[in-house]
Structure 1
Amino acid sequence: MDSSAHRSPTDPPQRRGHRDRHGRGLRGPLAPPQVPISLTRSELFDDYVRESVERLERRWPQLVDVEFAVQEVPLPERGAADPESIPLGRLIPAKQGGKSRIVVYRRPVEIRAKAREDRAALVHEILIEQVADLLGLSPDAIDPRFDEE
């Protein structure tokens, strides 16, 4: 005898081969939240920027007055058809009464650096170059390990 003949129309449909046979539901996340596997690419990228900024601020306390940001992609510029001319970061000098801003562009960085370690190193390099421009110093003066990374 077919069991579906005795069900009311409001009963949820029963599925065969359902993996939650005992009604326990999903037992938990595959990884704890603090483990990088549970972070999105965007969150992981934000962490690279945050770690690099903290490292630079320890050496250059005046960077506390600088705003750091991540954007997906730069706004298109006229005549920038060459992929090598797409900026990876940008310094926006302070306007009257405002703060200077350094922006890192996530997608162009991810395209150039596939591995996590390479991405983190490239983000740090970009930030060093932008801070050097802001402070009017060489990148080596900002971080003595600049050429090593």
Structure 2
Amino acid sequence: MRRRARAASRPDRHGRHGRVDRSPVVRPPLPAIETRAEKFDLTVSTAVEFLRSAWPELREVRFDVGWMPPAADADGIPRWAVLSDERRIVLFRLPIERLARLHRSDDLHRRMMIESCVFRAAAEYLDRDPWDLGPDRFRF
């Protein structure tokens, strides 16, 4: 049985055209795609971390993200639900994102709007004014 001699000039990994470090069919890996839901979750979690570090009463409160509230109330579609007896706050992503009237539609203003909803929900849970929760955070 004859064995083929391997070409000495060809590297172990090569592409279709002999280039090194290229896969034969697949392109180089692309960065992960960030969806609106992932950005929303990240914004909520960073705001919650800040609130928990500043307010010990919120350390045992569970913050959840829901898609939609079960039903509209007399004030319209709620953006969050405060369940004090369960020690839980539910933020509803779709009403917060879709019903917001931003004067400038960019990532910064969307993030600020989401953070304001987190602060207002936590303030409702604590029965305080939202501006009392993080006064140093909003000073410029």
Same fold (TM over 0.5): yes
Size of the aligned set, in residue pairs, is 116
Between the aligned partners of 1:78 and 1:46, the Cα distance in structure 2 is: 25
- Equivalent residues of 2:72, 2:78 under 8 A apart: no
Q: Which structure 2 residues correspond to residues 4-23 of structure 1 after superposition, within 5 A?
A: 22=16
Whole-Å separation in 2 of the counterparts to 1:52 and 1:79: 28
Letter in 1 for 2:90: V
The match for 1:62 among 57, 64, 79 is 57
Q: 77, 93, 98: which one pairs with 1:86?
A: 77
Unaligned 5+ residue runs, structure 1?
1-20
Q: Which amino acid aligns with 2:46?
A: E
Partner of 2:47: 52
Two-structure CA RMSD over aligned residues (Å): 2.5
Residues 1:29 and 1:119: Cα distance change in structure 2 (over 3 Å): same
User: How many Å apart are 1:66 and its aligned residue?
Assistant: 0.3
Instruction: Report the equivalent of 2:20.
Output: none
Q: Which residue pairs with 1:104 in the alignment? A: 91
Structure 2 equivalent of residue 27 of structure 1: 27
The one-letter amino acid paired with 1:107 is: L
Question: Per-residue deviation at 1:121?
Answer: 0.9
CA positional deviation for 1:69: 0.6
What letter matches 1:101 in structure 2? R
- Calculate percent identity across the aligned residue pairs: 28
Gaps of 5+ in 2: 1-14, 17-22
Distance (whole Å) between structure 1 residues aligned to residue 96 and residue 74 of structure 2:
20
Match of 2:118 in 1: 127
Distance in 1 separating the partners of 2:62 and 2:94: 20
TM-score calculated relative to the size of structure 2: 0.70
